[in-house]
Amino acid sequence: EISRREYDSSSWDRAKHVRISFHGDVLDQYELRRVMQRDTKLAGGALVLTALVCWFQLRSFFLSFLGTLLLSLTVLLAYVMVPVPAVGPASFLAVFLLYALGSHCLFRLHALWC
């Protein structure tokens, strides 16, 4: 029988907030897959933003598209040439470092060319 009394924090009858966690190989893979899908959407947005900033800086759609494409291919080439057994925070930060250095080189070459 459920009473209409207010919640008593010292009572063991019923918890106000119950959090249940599951753990296992299948659930960990599912959770990892969902996180990776969400992060892929965020990375796609960052890639579009990088292309737009590059287009604004270089004032050429062709150069910005080609530069962004080459930067994306260098990340894939690096993962093929140096296979990493597990993707961790260091490899995640290495992608951003690669984009930063590659974009800087692209902007520097454009400045020297013009």
Contact 35, 25 (CB under 8 A): no
Which whole number is the average pLDDT over 26-50?
81
Evaluate whether residue 48 is within a structural domain. yes
> Given a cut of 70, is residue 2 above it in pLDDT?
no
Evaluate whether residue 7 is within a structural domain. no
Per DSSP, helices labelled H in 13-60 are: 25-58
Report how many domains make up the chain.
Answer: 1
Percent of the chain at pLDDT > 70 equals: 75
Which whole number is the average pLDDT over 48-61?
89
**pTM of the predicted model, to two decimals?**
0.58
Evaluate whether residue 15 is within a structural domain. no
Which whole number is the average pLDDT over 20-48?
77
User: Which domain covers residue 41, as residue numbers?
Assistant: 25-113
Evaluate whether residue 67 is within a structural domain. yes
State residue 26's pLDDT score.
67
The more confidently predicted of residues 59 and 12 is: 59
